Homo-oligomer: A and B are copies of this chain.
Amino acid sequence: MVMAGGTVRAEQVGATRELILTAAERLFAERGVYAVSNRQVSEAAGQGNNAAVGYHFGTKADLVRAIIRKHAAPVEEIRTRLLAATGDSTDVRDWVGCLVRPVPEHLGALGSPTWYARFCAQVMTDPALRPIMVEESLSSPSLRQILDGLERCLPELPAEVRAERGDMVRHLILHMSAERERALAEGARTPRANWHDAATGLVDAVVGMWLAPVTSGS
C-alpha cells in the first residue's frame, strides 16, 4: 500500500511538472523569458499555489534547464537514428542531414503550434541563460560524431573554417526554426509547406556553404 501510494504521488508530481514545463515554454515563447514571472507560469499551469514553479523547479534558470532537457532526449534519439543510417558515408550531404534535420523533425513531430524554437532563440542570445544551453548541448556525443564525419569528407578544409561554418550551421538551425515557428503561430506565409521540406531547404543551403571555396585572410 505504501508503495502504491508512493507511485500515485510520483505520478501526480510528474503530471504537475509537465503542466508547468508546457505552460512555461509557451509563455516564454510568446511573451519573453524575462517578461514572464514564475507566478504567472504557476497560474497558467493551473496551480492553485503560486509558488509551484519554485517548489518543483527552483529558480528561473533551473526551469529553463528543465525545458531544454525535456527536448534534448527526443532530439538526440532522432540524431542517433540518422547517424546509424549514415554509417561511414563520404557524402557531405548525408552528414549535413544528420546535423540539420533533428531539431526541425522534432518540432514537426510535436504538432502545431510549437514554442520550443522561439524559447531556445531567446535563451541562446541572453548573456545570463546562454551558458545553460551551451552546457546542455555540448553533452551530446552524437554531435561530435557528425562533426568528425564531416571532417573525413573534407579533410582539406582548414580547422578554423570548419569551426566557423559549424557555428553558422548552429545559428541557422536555431533561428530559421524559430522564424518558421513564429510564422506558423501567427498564421503567416512560410516558404515551405512542412518541417521536413524546411529542413531540406536548410540542408541544400548548408551543403553549399560547407563546400564553398575558402578565401585566405587579408
Partner-B contacts on A (CB < 8 A)? 29-35, 118, 121-122, 124-128, 160-161, 163-165, 167-168, 171-172, 175-176, 178-179, 191-194, 196-197, 200-215, 217-218
Contact = CB atoms under 8 A, between A and B. Distances in A.
7 contacts: A31-B128, A161-B191, A171-B175, A171-B179, A194-B218, A200-B217, A208-B208
Nearest to A208: B212
Nearest to A129: B32
Given A29-B127, A32-B34, A204-B213, 13 more contacts: A31-B127, A31-B128, A32-B127, A35-B128, A125-B178, A160-B192, A168-B205, A171-B171, A172-B172, A175-B175, A194-B218, A204-B214, A208-B209
Give the 10 A-B residue pairs with the shortest CB-CB distance, closest first: A208-B212, A34-B34, A160-B191, A171-B175, A121-B125, A164-B191, A208-B208, A197-B217, A205-B209, A209-B209
A110 B112 CA distance: 43
A4 B172 CA distance: 53
Contacts of A29: 127
A127 to B, nearest CB: 5
A99 to B, nearest CB: 15
A16 to B, nearest CB: 26
Given A191-B163, A201-B161, A128 B32 contact: yes
Nearest to A185: B127
Contacts of A214: 201, 204
B218 A196 contact: yes
A124 to B, nearest CB: 8
A126 B208 CA distance: 30
A126 to B, nearest CB: 5
Contacts of A215: 200, 203-204
Interface centre among A202, A204, A211 (most CB of B within 10 A): A204
Nearest to A213: B204
Nearest to A203: B215
A208 B172 CA distance: 15
A31 B213 CA distance: 38
